[in-house]
Amino acid sequence: MEGLRIRVRGQVQGVGFRPFVWLLARELGVTGRVLNDPEGVLIEAYGPAATLPDLLRTKAPPLSRIDGIEVTPITGEAPTDFVIAASEGSGAETRVTPDAATCPDCLEEIHNPSERRFGYAFANCTHCGPRFTILNALPYDRSQTTMAPFAMCADCAAEYTDPADRRFHAQPVACPACGPKVWIEPHHDAPLAEAAARLHHGEILAIKGLGGFHLAGDARNAGAIALLRQRKMRPAKPFALMGTLDTIRQYAAPSDAEVALLQDPAAPIVLLANRGSLPSEIAPNQSTLGWMLPYTPLHHLLLDLLDGPLVMTSGNLSGEPQVIGNEEAREKLAPFVDAFLMHDRDIARRIDDSVERITPHGPMVLRRARGRVPGTLPLPKGFEDAPQTVAYGGQMKAALCLIKNGQALLGHHLGELDEALTWEAFQQADRDYSDLFDHKPQVVAVDLHPDFRASRHGAARAEAEGLKLEEIQHHHAHLAACMGENLWPLDGGEVAGIILDGVGLGPDGTVWGGEVLLGDYTGYERAAWLRPAPLIGGDMAAKEPWRNALARLDQAGLPDWADALFPDKPLAMARMAAERGLNTPQSSSAGRLFDAVAACLGICPDRQSYEGEAAMTLEALAQKAPPEEMAFYYDINASGSRIDPAKMWEPLRNDLENGVSTEIIALRFHSALARAFACAAVGLVQQGRARAIALSGGCFQSALLLDLTCHWIEAEASSLGIKVPVMHHTKTPANDGGLALGQALIAAARHLG
C-alpha cells in the first residue's frame, strides 16, 4: 500500500508531539507509527494521510516549533493500527525544549479541590513545566533528569503511558504522593502559608524556582525593599517584580502586545511603564518596572495567599551567578533572608529570568535566558553547508553559540567572566551544550581581544583539538549578529551597521564603540566613527562618569566648566595622565559619551552602582520630555569619517544655565546622537555602497535611542528620495549577549567562502 514518510524538524520532542500525531491519526483513520529520533519526529502513515502534513502545522502543540516538514512517498504493507514506537538512534540533531510557564490546565488542577494535584507546587504536563533546567543528558528521558530520584506512583505512571493523556511521556510528571516536596526553614507545617505570612510582615525570603533562587519581599512594603537593598548592598539597580495579570494592571497599563509577551510560555520579565504607585525604591530614577507573571505552580500558590506583588530578584552574592543548590543557598543567602522556601527537586543548571520589552518597532530582548534557551534560530540563506562552529562571545554578558545543521543555538546569559563562579558556569555551559547537542566543531570563533577569558578559552580549545581558530572584531560581530537574526542572505550584499556600545578592541589597538561599519559576513571597513577621547583611568572610566565628562569637555575647549562641575575630583592628576597617555586609551565609545552627558547633568557623576545606571537614568529623563523637543537637537558634526560631539557642549551648557529642564536636554542629546549616526549610514546607502542599515550594540537596548535612530534614518532617506531597509534585534540581545551569534556566522562564512 502507498503511504507517506513525514519528517518533522524543530522543537518537537518533549512537547507532546507524538501523542498529538497519534490522536490526529486516529481521527483521520490513518495507520502506521510515529517515533522520536536524532533528527526530530518521524511519521510513517498509511491510508487517508494526504492532509496530515498541513494539520501538523496548523494544530501543533503549544510548545512545539516546526522548522520544516519533509514528505516522501513509501510503499509497504499497511499496519492495522497507529502506534507510538520506541525512539531510534542516538545523538542530538533536534532541539531540547526550554522551560515553560504553568499551562491553564495545570493551573486549573492546582486550584480545584476535587483534583489530586490540588495545591501541589510541582504540577506539570507536556504543555508546561521544567525542561532544560532539570536535564542532565540526552535523550530527554526521566532517568536523565533531576526527576530520576522520584519513582512514579501508579496513578502518575498510568497517565505517563496513556497516549490520550496530556501527561503522556511528560518526564517531570509527579503528584503529592510521589513527587518533590516543598518546605520552609525555619520549619513550619504549612510552608506556603508561613511564607506568605512572613512576606506580609516585611521579611525577606529565599525562594527556590526553576533556574535558581530568588530573593523575595512584599513589593508594597518600602521598608522591606529598603531592607533588601541594605542586606544585598544594592543601592539602585532595579528589582524585578512578580504578580498576577490583575495585580500588574493595578500598577501598570500593559498594551495588548505587552500582555501577550507576559503570557508567553517563556514568561519573561517585561519592562512596563511605571505608573508610580509602588515604592520608588524598587527602581530608583527609572521610567519602567520589570514585571513577570508567576510561572510555576509554587509561585501561583504563594501569590494566591499573598494577594499582591512580590519583588523577585536573583538570589546571589553581588557579582556571582544565581544560587541553585539548597546547601549553597543556606551558606550564601543566610545573611540576606529571614527564611528559605525550598524544595527537593535539584536544578541541573542555573538560568536567570529572561528580560524583554515591547518597543514601537517590536519586541526587544535584553537578557536571553530562562524560557528562551535552548531554543534555536534558523541560519540565513547561504549557510546551509556551514561547518559546525562554536563561538565564545565576549567578557561581559557572556553567552556562547553553536552552529549545526542550519541552526544557531545561542546560549543563555552567564554574566561577567571576571567573577570566578561565573567563569565556572561558563565552562559548565560549554560542556553542557557540547554534550547535549552532540556538537563536534570544526571552527572556533573568539573576540579579537586576546585578554578576554572567553578568547583565551577558545584559543586553548582550538589548539588542543586541532581546530581552526577565527578571531572576530567585536563590532563586526555585532553587525553580523543583527544581519543573521534578520536572515540577511550570505550573498545579500554589504550593509551599513550603526554599532553603538561600551567598548570593543579595534584592529588599530584603540577602543571602539561608536562606529558606522560597512560590511557583510566576510569582511568590513570602518566608514565613520565617534571622535575618540581618552578613557582616563582605563576601566575606571566605565565606573566613574566624571572621568568621561572631563575628557570630552577638555576636548571641546571647556576645561573651566569641568573645573566647576567636579571641584572635588583629582582633575590635575587626571589631565596629566591623559596628556602623557598613562592608562588613558583612546576610545570612540558611545557608551562613555552617554556617561559624560549624564555626569554634566548631575546623574551619578561620582560612581555608577551598576553597569548602565547613568545611561538608563538619562533615557528615563529623556522619555519625560515633550517629543517635539527632539527637533532641537544639539550639533554633533558628522563630516567625512569623523562624528564629533565637541560643538554640542556649549549649547548644552547654555541650556542648563538658562533653566532648560534636564529632561529636555537629555532628549536633545539622544536625538543629536541618533541623527548624526543615521545621516552617516544613510549616506552609504545613497552612494550605492550599502543595501540596508543594521542597528546593534548595547546602546540600542535603549528603546528611545532605537526609536530616534529609526526616525532620523527615515527622515534622511525621505529627504534624499530613497528607501532604506532597517534591521534591528527582536529575538537576540543587541548587547554582548548576542555577540557569539555574530562571531559564529562570520567564522562560518569565512569557511564557506
Quick one: which of 297, 343, 353 has its CA closest to 129?
Answer: 297
User: For cell 537574526, what's the residue?
Assistant: 485
36 is catalytic: yes
Taking the alpha carbons of 520, 521, 525, 531 in that order, is the dihedral positive or negative?
A: positive
Residue 698 DSSP one-character state: G
The angle that helices 590-600 and 662-686 make with each other, rounded to 10 degrees, is 160
The angle that helices 590-600 and 545-555 make with each other, rounded to 10 degrees, is 90
Which one from 9, 33, 36, 547 is the annotated catalytic residue? 36
Which one from 18, 345, 526, 592 is the annotated catalytic residue? 18
357 is catalytic: no
Residue 100 DSSP one-character state: B
Q: What is the amino acid identity at position 753?
A: G
Cα(512)–Cα(493) distance, integer angstroms: 24
For the stretch 119-129, what's the b/e string if a residue is b when 16 or more beta carbons lie within 10 angstroms of its beta carbon?
bbbbbbbbbbb
Dihedrals φ, ψ of 91, to 5°? 110, 180
CA atoms within 13 A on the CB side of 649: 24
The continuous run of DSSP H or E covering 261 comes out as helix 256-262
Q: Answer for the pair 695, 732: CB distance below 8 angstroms, yes or no.
A: no
Distances (CA, A) of 588 to 34, 488, 592, 593, 615: 57, 27, 8, 9, 16
Cell of 340: 528559605
Length in residues, the chain = 753
Cα(92)–Cα(328) distance, integer angstroms: 32
Cα(38)–Cα(12) distance, integer angstroms: 11
Sheet arrangement for strand 269-273: 182-185, 339-343, 205-208, 213-218, 310-314, 240-242, 288-292, 269-273, 355-359, 362-367
Q: Strands 269-273 and 310-314, how do they pair?
A: unpaired
The angle that helices 703-719 and 613-622 make with each other, rounded to 10 degrees, is 60
Dihedrals φ, ψ of 286, to 5°? -110, 150
Residues with catalytic annotation?
18, 36
